[in-house]
Structure 1
Amino acid sequence: MSSVTERVKQQFGPTAEAYINSSFHASGPDLALLVSSCGFEGTELVVDLGCGPGHTALACARHAAQVIGIDVTPEMVAAASALAAQRSLSNAEFRVGNVEQLPFASASVDVVTSRVSAHHYSDPGRALSEAFRVLKPGGLMLISDTVAPEDPAFDTFFNAVEFLRDSSHVRDYKGSEWMRMLAAAGFAPEMLERFPLVLDGADWVKRMQTPPEKVAMLKMLFAEANPAIRAAFEVRTDPWGFTIPIGVMRAVKPA
C-alpha cells in the first residue's frame, strides 16, 4: 500500500463524522449536475470511487439499480453504510478498497463516479485506466473535483494551501491536465461546468483537524498573498476564507 494511501487513511479516519455533516459534500451544486449527467434509466450498476461518507453513491442510488462505493478508509465505509441504512437505500453497498485496483470484471460497470476525492489519488492515471477497464463500451465516468487554475502561480498557491491544510493532499489538477489524463486513459472527455465553492476558513480547517501551527501558516500565506492571488481566490479576512473552483467532467468510453 502506498504512503499516500496510508496518509489518506490516517487523515480521514478521525474526520469521517465531519464529512457526513458537511453541507457541501452532502448537497453541493456539483452533485446535482453529476447525477443528472449520468442519464440514469434505472438499470445501471454504478461504482463510486473514493466514496467517503457516501453522499454521491446514495444520490445515484435513488436513480440506478445498484451502487457500490469504494474507499480506502474503513471509517468512511462504515459511515456510508450507516447512512445508507438510515435512508433505507438497500441498493447501495460500500467496500474498503483501492481505486487503483478495482475488484470488478472488465466491461461490467455502466457508470463510474468520483467526487472531490481524486486530488488524493496517488496515481490518478492508474485509477482512470481502471475506471476505463471496468466500464462497458459506451459507459460513462463523471468526475467532480477541485480544479487548479491554469496560471502557474495561482496553481502553486492553491496546492500549497491545500497541502498545508491536509498532508494527504496530492494535487488539484488543472482542467487541461484532466482532459489530457482522461484522453490518455482512452476516454472522450469534456468539462461540463465549473462552480465557485465559497469556503469559511475556520470550518475548512476544523473539518480536517488541521494543527494550530499550520492554521497560522495558512493565515499568513493568505495575508501576504499578492493582489492578483487575493482576487483570483476571493480572499476574505474577517471572517477569514476564500473561494475555490470545482470542475465537473464527463468522460465516455467509446463504444
Structure 2
Amino acid sequence: MSASTDNAQKSHASFVTEQFGQQARAYLESAVHSAGEDLDIMERAVGARSEAIALDMGCGGGHVTFRLAPHVQKIVAYDLSTDMLQTVAGEAAKRGLGNVVTKNGAAETLPCPDNSFDVVATRFSAHHWRDVPAGIAQMYRAAKPGALALFADAVAHEDPLIDTWLQSIELLRDPSHVRDFKVSEWESMVTNAGFKVREIRRLRIRLEFASWIKRIRTPEVNAAAIRALQQQAPAEVAEHFAFEADGSFMLDTAVVIAEKV
C-alpha cells in the first residue's frame, strides 16, 4: 500500500493529531502564534476576572492559555492533540501557572456540563475543525449566561477569487486545513449559535514563508506548488496578499468579541 493511499484512509481527526502532535514544540515557539495584536485584544477583553473559569478551545501551543491564566481563577486548555496538551502542561509548569488544566477532545464534542465557563475563547484553531458551527454551539452551551466569548482566526476575503487562492495555498501547505471563513461567515455562525457580537477587529499579519512551511513540515513538492501559484496569481490576488520574492505574504485575521446573553 502506498503512503498516499494510507494517508487517504486516515480520519481527519487522526490526520490533525498526527500533523500537530509532531510539531507541538514548533507551535509553542512560533513567533506568529506566541505574540500578536490579536492576543493583546483578547487579553484586554478579559481584563481582571479573578473568579472566572475560562476555556481555551483548540488550545494548540497554549498561547491564549498563557495570556489569560494570570487573569482568571482557572483555565482549561482543550485540544484534540495529546502531544500539544503535554507541551502546554509542561510550559505552564515552567511559567508557574498552577491554574492551567488540560483536557483532550474534539471541538464538536466538548465534554463538560452546561454553563461551566465565564470566558470561552479560541484562536487559530477553527479552520481545522470538521464542523465549526457545532464547535461554536458547544462553546455557547458550555458558557455561562453573560460569559465573554472570543474567536480569533485567519479569515478569507469576501471576493471569491481571493478566497479561492487563500484556501488553495492553505491546503497545499497543510492538508489538515478545512477552511478559513469570511468575517461575514464568522459573524453569522457566532450569532446563530446564540452569542451577541459586540465587536469585530480586522487585522493583517505577515507570514514569513520559510518558517510558515517549516512549522508544519510542508513537503518540498507542495511548497514548490505554492510558489508556482503565487507566481501565476492575477494582479488582484498578488496585490491583496502582497506576495514577496521569497513567498512571504500578508494574511487577513480577525477577532470576534461576543457574549452569551
Match of 2:258 in 1: 251
Matched, 1:20 2:28: yes
Structure-2 separation of matches of 1:251 and 1:118: 16
CA distance in 2: counterparts of 1:234 and 1:111, whole angstroms: 36
Structure 2 residue aligned with 1:4: 12
Match of 2:91 in 1: 83
Deviation of the 1:244 alpha carbon: 0.4
d(CA) in 2 for partners of 1:231 and 1:38?
A: 35
Q: Distance in 1 between the 2:116 and 2:208 partners? A: 41
Q: Which runs of 5+ in 1 are unaligned?
A: none
- Runs (4+) of structure 1 exceeding 6 A deviation are none
Q: What amino acid does structure 1 have at the position aligned with 2:13? A: T
Equivalent residue in structure 1 for 2:113, among 105, 119, 138: 105
In the alignment, is residue 143 of structure 1 matched against residue 151 of structure 2?
Answer: yes
Identity over aligned pairs, percent: 36
Structure 2 partner of 1:199: 207
> Is the partner of 2:71 in helix, strand or coil?
coil
**Counterpart contact for 2:148–2:257, Cα < 8 Å:** yes
2:5 paired residue number: none
Aligned partners of 2:140 and 2:67: how far apart in 1? 22
Contact persistence 1:175–1:191 (CA under 8 A): no
Deviation at 1:190, TM superposition (A): 4.2
1:51 — aligned with what? 59
CA offsets per residue over residues 93-131 of structure 1, 9 Å max, x none?
A: 212111111121111210101011010111011111111
Are 1:236 and 2:226 matched, yes or no?
A: no
Shift of 1:197: 0.8
CA distance 1:191–1:164, change in 2 (3 Å): farther
Deviation at 1:191, TM superposition (A): 4.3
Does the 8 Å CA contact 1:191/1:247 hold for their aligned counterparts? no
Separation of aligned partners in 2, 1:146 and 1:73 = 20
Matches within 5 A, 1:181-220: 181-220=189-228
SS class of match (1:100): helix
- Give how far 1:41 is off: 2.2
State the distance in 1 between where 2:212 and 2:123 align: 17
Q: Which runs of 5+ in 2 are unaligned?
A: 1-9
In 1: Cα distance, 2:152 partner to 2:63 partner: 13
Please give the TM-score of this superposition, normalised by the length of structure 1: 0.96
SS, match of residue 168 in structure 1: coil
| Superposition TM-score, scaled by structure 2 size | 0.94
SS at match of 1:170: coil
Q: How many residues align?
A: 252
* Pairing 1:163–2:171 present: yes
